[in-house]
Amino acid sequence: MPHTNASLPALLDGCAVIPVLTISHIEDALPLAEALVKGGLNVLELTLRTPVALEALRLIAAEIPEAIIGAGTVNTPELLTQVTDAGARFAVSPGHTDRLLDAAENSLTPLLPGVATASEVMHLMERGYSMLKLFPAEAIGGRELLKSFSGPLAHAKFCPTGGISPDLAPSYLSLPNVVCVGGSWMVSAQDIANRDWAKIETLARAAARF
Ligand SMILES: O=C(O)C(=O)C[C@H](O)[C@H](O)COP(=O)(O)O
pLDDT, tens digit (0-9, with 9 covering 90-100), for 54-88: 999 999 999 999 999 999 999 999 999 999 999 99
Local confidence band at 4 (pLDDT 50, 70, 90 cut-offs): confident
CA distance 191 to 201: 11
Among residues 35, 124, 44, which one has the least CA distance to residue 90? Answer: 44
Q: Any catalytic annotation for residue 144?
A: no
Report the share of the chain in percent with pLDDT over 90.
95
| Mean pLDDT computed over 38-58 | 98
Local confidence band at 13 (pLDDT 50, 70, 90 cut-offs): confident
Establish how many alpha carbons lie within 13 A of residue 139's alpha carbon, considering only the half-sphere containing its beta carbon. Answer: 8
CA distance 70 to 72: 7
- Examine the pLDDT at 2 and tell me if it is beyond 90: no
Residue whose CB lies within 8 A of the most ligand 1 atoms, among 161, 185, 190, for a mutation test: 161
Catalytic residue among 66, 126, 133, 138: 133
DSSP character at residue 178: B
**Structural domains of the chain ordered from first start:** 16-208 (3.20.20.70)
pLDDT, tens digit (0-9, with 9 covering 90-100), for 105-133: 999 999 999 999 999 999 999 999 989 99
CA distance 61 to 72: 14
46, 184 contact by CB (below 8 A): no
Instruction: State in Å: Cα 164 to ligand 1 middle.
Output: 10
ipTM entry: 0.94
Report the atom number in ligand 1 closest to the C-alpha of 49.
1
Pick the residue whose CA is nearest to atom 13 on ligand 1: 162
Q: Any catalytic annotation for residue 147?
A: no
Give the chain's mean pLDDT. Answer: 97
Pick the residue whose CA is nearest to atom 10 on ligand 1: 162
Strand partners, 114: 133
- Examine the pLDDT at 3 and tell me if it is beyond 90: no
Looking at residue 1, its pLDDT comes to: 63
Pick the residue whose CA is nearest to atom 5 on ligand 1: 94
